[in-house]
Amino acid sequence: MKTQTAVSQEIVRVDLEARQTHWEPTAGLAIPAYGFNGQVPGPTIQAEVGDTLVVRLANTLPEPTTIHWHGLRVPANMDGTEMVQHPVPPGGSFEYRFVLPDAGTFWYHPHTHETEQLEKGLYGALIVRGPDEPKLDGERVLVLDDLKLDRHGNLARFGGWKERHQGRLGDVRLVNGRAEPELEMAAGQVERWRLVNAASSRYVRLSIGRRPFIILSSDGGLLETPVPATEVLLTPGDRVDLAVGPFAHGESIEVASLAYDRGMVKEPGARYATVRIGPPAPSHATIPATLRSIERLVTDEVAPNRTVHLQGRPSLHGVDWRIDGHAHHHAEPVRVGDLQVWEVVNQTKMDHPFHLHGFFFQVLQVNGAPPPYRSWEDTINVPAKGRVRIAWLPDDRPGSWMYHCHILEHHAAGMMAHFEVVR
């Protein structure tokens, strides 16, 4: 017999004020920044599948802003982009209201002047829980970021050829707004870590002391089965949930990014945090062998119905980032219910994280080979000179949507396209 699980239908109300603040990434260093409710990251929003989220955004910044709900299947007019809303002016406010259809680790950030507003601290995590979550001993939300400071300890000046080319890379690595923090964890326990990469351009090839961990979930929620690994790649915009531990009392574990070559940009390995393992505590963690089932969107060989070319060409500004020959490309519409199989072709010598707004896709192939597991994604790395084939189904949420590179400087320079979903 099928178990009937009650779906929550609460209204979750959140007030977010985008305002100027002083952010202290490390003791004694307070930098002028932006924060939702004055915090970096902003408050972690928590809700259950089926809840209605009502967020009142009040803007007291000296510039317009919006909120994009990264990964959430919202109605088009709630997506927070310039395609669907006028940015909220200084002193203005806007109410976002939508049902939360999916469980997962999501995040929110402005979709206006992103290169500066995110770097200044406007981002936060959004956790939606489902009725059948694996039970672990504890849970943490770890939002990764980096910060580029000048020699006076202020935010470095924005822009320039290098940032436009490789994206803005900072030297200070942050977890939840703090530089290389020390975390504590009980010996013997297994925790669920929900990770978000909120950095402008830094890839995180995540290692937890080179120990094995278990991947539970990706952008669009739980995988079908737990996947053991010792590293996982988080591009800008990506999320992953891991089962981490158990460790022994007295151990010190480095949460780090291993060296990663994203083509023309070699990111060296670097530490994000240290976990000190304290006295043991009992464990009641259970990870079921099956987390959920994910039906294949494509069962036969299907020819792609759209090819998306990610392009860069040298210019007076250094490089012009484009999609299909255009900066801010206006792409063909798609019809509700028509299966989309897209071939995303990277014609550049650099990796780009491809992000589709408002819909999850399944990855069919990366450079011609099937991915190691089936999952729902909204952001996927397209390797330098490589290609990724994805499939997605536009459900009945007509309106203006977009896809773009999630290296914020590439998006801003034009590596984006907007399109209509039509009935």
Q: Which is nearer to Cu ion, 161 or 335 (CB)?
A: 161
Q: Check residue 352 for interaction with Cu ion (CB under 5 A).
A: yes
Compute the least distance from the CB of residue 25 to Cu ion, in Å: 26
Q: Which is nearer to Cu ion, 42 or 353 (CB)?
A: 353
Q: Which x/- pattern over 231-250 shows residues binding Cu ion (rule: CB under 5 A)?
A: --------------------
Compute the least distance from the CB of residue 113 to Cu ion, in Å: 18
Q: Which x/- pattern over 69-108 shows residues binding Cu ion (rule: CB under 5 A)?
A: ----------------------------------------
Q: Which is nearer to Cu ion, 352 or 389 (CB)?
A: 352
Q: Which is nearer to Cu ion, 202 or 352 (CB)?
A: 352
Residues 46 and 106 sit within 8 Å (Cβ to Cβ): no
Compute the least distance from the CB of residue 410 to Cu ion, in Å: 3
How many residues bind Cu ion, per CB under 5 A? 4
Q: Which is nearer to Cu ion, 179 or 416 (CB)?
A: 416
Q: Which is nearer to Cu ion, 256 or 405 (CB)?
A: 405
Stretch in the footprint of Cu ion (CB under 5 A) among 90-98, 192-200, 348-356, 363-371: 348-356
Compute the least distance from the CB of residue 73 to Cu ion, in Å: 24
Compute the least distance from the CB of residue 413 to Cu ion, in Å: 9
Q: Check residue 202 for interaction with Cu ion (CB under 5 A).
A: no
Compute the least distance from the CB of residue 351 to Cu ion, in Å: 8
Stretch in the footprint of Cu ion (CB under 5 A) among 149-157, 298-306, 324-332, 352-360: 352-360
Q: How many C-beta neighbours within 10 Å does residue 393 have?
A: 15
Torsion angle defined by CA atoms of residues 321, 326, 327 and 332, in that order, rounded to the nearest 10 degrees = -120
Compute the least distance from the CB of residue 320 to Cu ion, in Å: 12
Positions 375 through 414 that interact with Cu ion (CB under 5 A): 405, 407, 410
Q: Which is nearer to Cu ion, 63 or 324 (CB)?
A: 324
Q: What are phi and psi of 65, to 5 degrees?
A: -150, 170
Interface contacts to Cu ion, rule CB under 5 A: 352, 405, 407, 410
